[in-house]
Amino acid sequence: MPLRLAPGSRLAGRDDKGGGSGPFSKYHYMETLITILIIVAVLVVIAVVLRKKAEQPAPESAPEKPSGFLLKNYVMNKSESTLYGMLMRALSDNYVVLSKIRIEDFVDVNKNELSREEAFGLRNRIKSRHVDFLICDRNSKPLMAVELDGGSHNNYHRAQRDEFVDGVYREAGLPVRHIRSGSDFAAGINGIRRDLKEANEQEEKI
């Protein structure tokens, strides 16, 4: 015979599933509350860290390494540019006028007559030097060197350079004409045209 409990019995208040307000329910409540508090605390810490990062100034970029080279604003100074323009206008119909080219580009060392050491030494003396203007025929044959002499040509070392370069031209058989900066460029160019014409007539006679 099944046991019947009286309505007033102390066991009648509990259900078969263990529900109610016993110690087990309080434990789960506290565990859930602690978990929520931990999550909230973690979120607050993350928010504080992100805010501090956002408020930090951006790191300064490292300064760029300075360039080792600079482009010049011009190739010729004012006097050189003026003379070059006048030479072009006076000669460009029959000649080619080149500017600022290395002497080594149109004068060679006579390797057949010199020892290797002598040829090397002479080449070193001309390879870093240039001519102000070189007048060539239409086939690029050098006909005359033109040197524009400024105030620096009165300097002893510059005068030594001019003497050496003039000797190079002379040995190579290339005429050279010096024009003083600030002088009458037109008169100098007329002399160049006259010399070129005479040289051309002499060549035609040969």
pLDDT at 24: 56
Residue 154 confidence class, pLDDT cut points 50, 70, 90: low
pLDDT at 179: 96
Closest by CA position to 183, among listed 87, 91, 81, 83: 83
pLDDT of 191 > 50? The answer is yes
User: Which residues fall within 8 angstroms of residue 189, CB to CB, at 6 or more apart?
Assistant: 86, 87, 90, 91
pLDDT of 121 > 60? The answer is yes
Kindly state the tokens that stand for 45.
């810490």
Q: Which residues of 141-163 are buried (b: 16+ CB within 10 A; e: fewer)?
A: ebbbbbbbbeeeeeeeeeeeebe
CATH number for the region 78-205 comes to 3.40.1350
Segment 52-77, tens digit of pLDDT: 877 777 666 767 788 889 999 999 99
Residue 153 confidence class, pLDDT cut points 50, 70, 90: low
Alpha-carbon gap, residue 202 to 204, rounded angstroms = 5
pLDDT of 12 > 60? The answer is no
Closest by CA position to 165, among listed 199, 125, 136, 135: 125
pLDDT of 166 > 60? The answer is yes
pLDDT of 47 > 70? The answer is yes
pLDDT of 16 > 70? The answer is no
Amino acid at the residue 26? K
In angstroms and rounded to an integer, the radius of gyration of the C-alpha atoms of the chain is 49
How does the average pLDDT of the chain come out, rounded?
A: 84
Higher-pLDDT residue of 121, 3: 121
Residue 161 confidence class, pLDDT cut points 50, 70, 90: confident
pLDDT at 172: 95
